[in-house]
Amino acid sequence: MSDLAFKAAAAKELDAADELAGLRARFVLDDGVYLDGNSLGALPAAVPDQVADVVRRQWGELRIRSWDESGWWTAPERIGDRIAPLVGAAAGQIVVGDSTSVNVFKALVGAVRIAQDGAGDDAGGRDEILVDATTFPTDGYIARSAARLTGHTLRPVTPGEVPAALSERTAAVLLNHVDYRTGRLHDLPSLTAAVHAAGAVSVWDLCHSAGALPVGLDEHGVDLAVGCTYKYLNGGPGSPAYLYVRKGLQDRFDSPLPGWNSHAEPFGMRAEYEPARGALRGRVGTPDILSMLALEAALEVWDGVPVAAVRAKSLALTDFFLECVDAYVPEGRVESLTPVRHEERGSQVALRCSAIAGDVMKRLIERGIVGDHRRPDVLRFGFTPLYVGFADVERAARVLAEVLAEVA
């Protein structure tokens, strides 16, 4: 039996045994292979009707009454509680709203203020922020601005360098759970423990892990975390992000962006600011209701889905893709940047391509295999276990080999 026939048969068997295969019907998909859910998740089938109801009935008919009658006012914390189990958090610790960038700013400045508050007379000594040197650029930009505004020094280090870089000067540490380029999964439990041992405050960016693997925010004592909802949570383009504030820190969380929505008495219209209790103090202004309620409908696809099963399938999919690439693609044409070890792998595979990577990805997309390209030479493939199957994986690797043969 040829490699092609063997892998195709193996994919068929794996799909037949897949306990999550039925979830694919909860999404709007075409005949192609969509491997870009690490950038933008596919459309959940329940979303269009929900958005139509929000526009036509809730806004069109009920109008302002919908703030109460349709639950608009409580949407940020209600939807936060739906996300909470997906990141290992109890209810009452996540608020949804604003962009990831805005929430990174709130979390990082808030972390610095918590560190200063806890340091007492030694607060002036904690004058440094550590940031993941390999982070998505915006996190770095925000961290630099936060450091400048708070009078702190910003020190970029790789996640592996964090334990040695921590000191009595460290106020806060901003890290990515999964590297957006390579798919490398960083050790959240041990790094969080190291940050706490140094007396600093941890902030985690979960954009590339939430909805793909267990996070364990409460279990591992994470202080603050942020994440987007348009990747593995399938909330739609530009859907609102979220902010997690650990319950034990909520009374000490001093947001740098206080707004009327986070006021203890929002309709009191008082000049003096008094923060609301709990995670609500992470709110700022009027919630973006249309995209927020689209997200709420999108999260229905998670009903009855255990994150552990999603993680198991994610690892099986990425393993199988790497096996197929190894079988189909001639040696030397691509190099995997994604770790082999499961404990170091997120839910994507990044391949360094010896050909012109941008041209290769363009040709793949023309043939229905949708991934993305990161300059200069990386092909990224994201595996969303809720709707990606093993036959999809085999087909993607096979077409990749065909395209590489054309551009040799």
Q: List helix spans (H) across 121-275.
A: 137-150, 162-165, 188-197
Q: Exactly one of 136, 253, 320, 328 is catalytic; which is it? A: 136
Residues 6+ apart with CB under 8 A from 145: 105
Q: How far is CA 4 from CA 322, 333, 394, in A?
A: 14, 18, 9
231 assigned to active site: yes
Q: Of the listed 105, 180, 230, 390, which one is catalytic?
A: 230
Assess contact for 116 and 247: CB atoms under 8 A: no
User: Is residue 230 annotated as a catalytic residue, yes or no?
Assistant: yes
Please calculate the CA angle 266-248-310 and round it to the nearest 5 degrees.
95
Cα–Cα dist 352/329, whole Å: 13
CA angle 387, 321, 376 (to 5 degrees): 100
Q: Strand, helix or coil at 114?
A: helix
Q: Residue 187: which of 74, 53, 344 has the closest Cα?
A: 344
Q: For this structure, is 205 an active site residue?
A: yes
Measured distance CA(135)–CA(324) in Å, rounded: 30
Catalytic residue among 205, 223, 377, 392: 205
User: Considering all CA atoms of the chain, what is the largest pairwise distance in Å, rounded to the nearest integer?
Assistant: 77
Residue tagged active-site, from 126, 380, 395, 398: 380
Query: Of residues 7, 26, 231, 395, which has the active-site annotation?
Result: 231
Active-site annotation, residues: 136, 205, 230-231, 380
